[in-house]
């Protein structure tokens, strides 16, 4: 009986204990797993580069699409709803971003499928290697670089968008009440050294710039400006003291009506005045270029028409150019 009992005890010990007679605790097992994780082979640089590429390429598509939709939608909203409801360009851009984000959700799968069709090589990583921090860092860098590059590429849309069109439409969107609320008074009686032009009407963005441009186009040199604004009623009372650019003297009485009419027109269609000023500036540049060309041709003709002969018999042209 004692012998059989000993046999049972020995059998139990042989099954429950390892060969060295020591039972492993949970902490020992965890340490072994950590050592196994540390021994995972580091991916090669080629594999990390493939991880980077596979993360970057889809994000280039996402960034380009997002930027394109935002710019195109924002510009369309700015030129339509922005003009109708008086929205600022920044507000229109915010609405464009909403449209862009919504399109990203709708067409995101298409971009991913297109990226997969690009046939980028796989990194062939094991599950243990994919869990390594360096692989996560390569994937994160690829995502960041891809979306930044895509957004920068999307800026090419600005080459095909008239960024000033919305401003033109907004300035031209005057209602009839605003258009006929302006009054202009031209007088030579206020000052002896200048003609006075008084403008009364609603305060509108870009109005002062439009009026000064109109006066410049009509040959006025502005001596003094008195700009007054009534914030409570949103009205302005601006006074321009001008003289003729050619004579430096006040304008004649028979020219007052023309000046007043031009100033009034600038309050109704300010962008037309700016367009005229831009056209005048372009004509001035063209005129300067033509003058330089004519001067150059005159110098060439002058050199060909005159021959100089020195005492030694050496022939030359003006400027010391020898024949």
Q: Kindly write down the DSSP assignment for every residue of 238-258, as one continuous string.
A: EEEEEEETTTSSPPPGGGHHH
pTM for this predicted structure: 0.52
Which residues of the chain are under the pLDDT cut of 70?
A: 1-38, 171-179, 231-232, 269-279, 319-323
Using alpha carbons only, give the angle 290, 293, 297 rounded to the nearest 5 degrees: 140
Task: Say what percent of the chain tops pLDDT 90.
Answer: 44
Over residues 184-233, the pLDDT tens digits come to 999 999 999 999 999 998 887 778 888 998 899 899 999 999 988 876 67
Instruction: Provide the pLDDT for residue 9.
Output: 47
Question: How much of the chain is in helix, strand and coil states, percent to nearest 5?
Answer: 65, 15, 25
Return the sign of the alpha-carbon dihedral for residues 91, 97, 100, 106: negative
Instruction: Provide the pLDDT for residue 206.
Output: 74
Instruction: Provide the pLDDT for residue 28.
Output: 47
Instruction: Provide the pLDDT for residue 22.
Output: 44
Tokens encoding 181: 């609320």
Instruction: Provide the pLDDT for residue 171.
Output: 66
Angle at which helices 45-79 and 133-154 cross, to 10°:
30
Residue 185 CB neighbour total at 10 angstroms: 14
Over residues 31-61, the pLDDT tens digits come to 554 444 457 899 999 999 999 999 999 999 9
Beta strand pairing call for 235-244 and 195-202: antiparallel
Q: Which of 231, 224, 223 is nearest to 202 (CA)?
A: 231
d(CA 252, CA 249): 9
Instruction: Provide the pLDDT for residue 301.
Output: 81
């Amino acid at each position: 009986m004692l012998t059989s009992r000993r046999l049972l005890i020995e059998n139990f010990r042989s099954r429950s204990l390892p060969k060295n007679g020591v039972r492993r605790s949970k902490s020992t097992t965890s340490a072994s797993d950590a050592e196994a994780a540390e021994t995972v082979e580091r991916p090669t640089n080629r594999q990390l580069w493939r991880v980077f590429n596979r993360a970057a390429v889809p994000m280039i598509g996402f960034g380009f699409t997002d930027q394109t939709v935002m710019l195109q939608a924002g510009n369309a909203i700015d030129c339509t709803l922005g003009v109708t409801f008086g929205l600022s360009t920044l507000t229109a851009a915010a609405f464009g971003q909403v449209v862009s984000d919504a399109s990203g959700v709708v067409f995101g799968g298409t971009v991913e499928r297109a990226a997969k069709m690009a046939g980028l090589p796989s990194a062939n990583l094991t599950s243990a290697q994919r869990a390594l921090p360096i692989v996560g860092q390569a994937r994160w860098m690829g995502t960041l670089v891809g979306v930044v590059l895509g957004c920068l590429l999307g800026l090419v849309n600005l080459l095909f968008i008239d960024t000033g069109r919305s401003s033109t439409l907004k300035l031209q969107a005057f209602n009839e009440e605003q258009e006929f609320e302006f009054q202009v008074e031209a007088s030579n009686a206020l000052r002896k050294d200048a003609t006075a032009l008084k403008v009364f009407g609603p305060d509108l963005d870009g109005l002062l710039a439009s009026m000064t441009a109109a006066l410049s186009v009509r040959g006025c040199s502005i001596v003094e400006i008195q700009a007054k604004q009534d914030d409570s009623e949103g009205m302005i009372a601006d006074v321009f003291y001008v003289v003729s650019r050619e004579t430096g003297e006040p304008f004649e009485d028979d020219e007052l009506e023309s000046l007043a009419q031009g100033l009034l027109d600038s309050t109704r269609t300010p962008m037309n005045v700016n367009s005229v000023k831009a056209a005048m500036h372009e004509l001035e540049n063209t005129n300067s270029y033509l003058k330089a060309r004519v001067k150059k041709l005159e110098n060439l003709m002058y050199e060909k028409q005159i021959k100089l002969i020195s005492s030694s018999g050496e022939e030359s042209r003006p400027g010391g150019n020898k024949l």
